[in-house]
Amino acid sequence: MTATAEHDLLHPSTPPCLHLLSAFLAMEPTDSLIALARECGGGRVTERVQRFIWDHCMVECSTQAGKLHAPYLKKFLKKLIAEVELNCGDVLDELYEHYAHFMTSLKDSDLERDNARVFKSISFLFPDGCLELTSCPESRKLMVPLHCSLNMLEGDTGCSVWPSSLYLSECILSFPDLFTNKSCFEVGSGVGLVGICLAHVKASKVILSDGDLSTLANMMVNLELNHISVETNMSETTEDPYMVKTVKCLHLPWESVSESELQNLKPDIILGADVIYDPICLPHLVRILALLLNQMKLESKGADGSVNGYCQGNGNGDKFDAFLAKRTDNSATNAGSKKGSMAFIATVIRTIDTFDKFCALLDSANLIIKDVTETLRPSNLLPYMQSYDRTAVRLFAISCK
């Protein structure tokens, strides 16, 4: 590769450097970063690639975010220096000096704090020709900073970024017309990523909920990081000209929420990401879904037997097909049009018995479930994220029978 060609590749807005920078900000595994660094250098981590990493990842990102996770940086620098030395290359002095600083300032106990909360940024990268997606920003990149946990499985699940929340966010950004001007309610909102994407595509109302107060507090931090005003069930929001949208956050323990607490929500769309992994919680979740979906059904049922303008039909698939068909029907996106209420649940099916129990509970509650993964397959907006296996996630639509 010529020096000119390599220079063209090393612009932070051009792949693969854009992918390297995005992976760094998302705190992807260090092996992924090294692989992307090699790609930037045409197979080797050249001095020019090291300079890009120092200027754009280490210096510029540190100035912007101010709270890069030091143990992660130390691990990355160690791997990067070893990669360059293995190929008999020269390591930039700045990289050596920064790694030496971490060696003397970080203790082993700091590296073992797997439950630490950190700041990372999820960058959704829109492909060329994305003008048909109204969610595509002019820069073709939507960066979402998040305060979250590094430990997904032990004691801090609500503050972790789960794969199904990434998938559901990709769906929202890929099919914005399904959510624009719609009232959306999410159960188990975690870090708030899905709600931030709903605000981006201009849902008319966004209500996020979680049963854990610590998770709820962290979620509100993330909304404010993304310039979104927060309204809670404890206090009204104040107008802030620097905030682009207002999102309501509710403390909603599934096991104790009453029908009266849900009756004023009236969402057009209910969403959930990785919320069916615990069989103990499933009856409470299904009760909430049934109350919200049946509430909308009863209130919107017309004299002709239609629900929100959709004929109910005899087959279970009719309402799903009608609902999904609206994304190709321009008239359906007009402000004020009212379509059938629907729940979208994205999940990784980890235990088939748990999923079967969920389906049985839905059937007992007079709800139907349909796999719409192929119908609503989103664009790959996270091409740099090798730790995210989008093929493992399934998307289900739930509605009243």
> For position 333, what pLDDT does the model report?
34
Q: Provide the whole-model pTM.
A: 0.86
Ordered mean pLDDT values, 10 residues apiece, the chain (401 residues):
51 90 95 96 94 90 64 93 94 94 73 68 88 77 91 69 96 95 96 96 95 93 93 56 73 93 91 95 96 69 39 42 52 39 95 96 96 95 95 96 87
Contact 344, 370 (CB under 8 A): no
Mean pLDDT rounded to a whole number for the chain: 83
pLDDT for the residue 284: 96
**Which whole-number Å values give the CA distances from 366 to 237, 276, 310, in the listed order?**
37, 18, 18
How far apart are alpha carbons 200 and 192 in whole angstroms?
12
Question: Can the peptide bond before residue 16 be classed as cis, meaning omega within 30 degrees of 0?
Answer: yes
Extract the tokens encoding 55.
Answer: 């200027």
The amino acid occupying position 96 is Y
Residue 48: CB atoms within 10 A of its CB come to: 15
The third-level CATH classification (topology) of the domain covering 158-400 is: Rossmann fold (3.40.50)
**Pair of tokens at residue 247:** 């999102």
Report CA dihedral (185, 188, 192, 198) to the nearest 10 degrees: -30
Task: Please report the pLDDT score of residue 1 as a whole number.
Answer: 46
Please tell me whether the peptide bond between 137 and the residue prior to it is cis, using omega within 30 degrees of 0: no
Q: Please calculate the CA angle 275-281-282 and round it to the nearest 5 degrees.
A: 75
Neighbours of 191 (CB within 10 A): 27
Distance CA 247, CA 370 (A): 29
- Reported as half-sphere exposure (CB side, CA atoms, 13 A), residue 50 has a value of 21
DSSP 125: E
For the chain, domain boundaries:
3-111, 158-400
CA distances to 170, 310, 321, 397, 398 from 316, in Å: 27, 13, 9, 11, 10
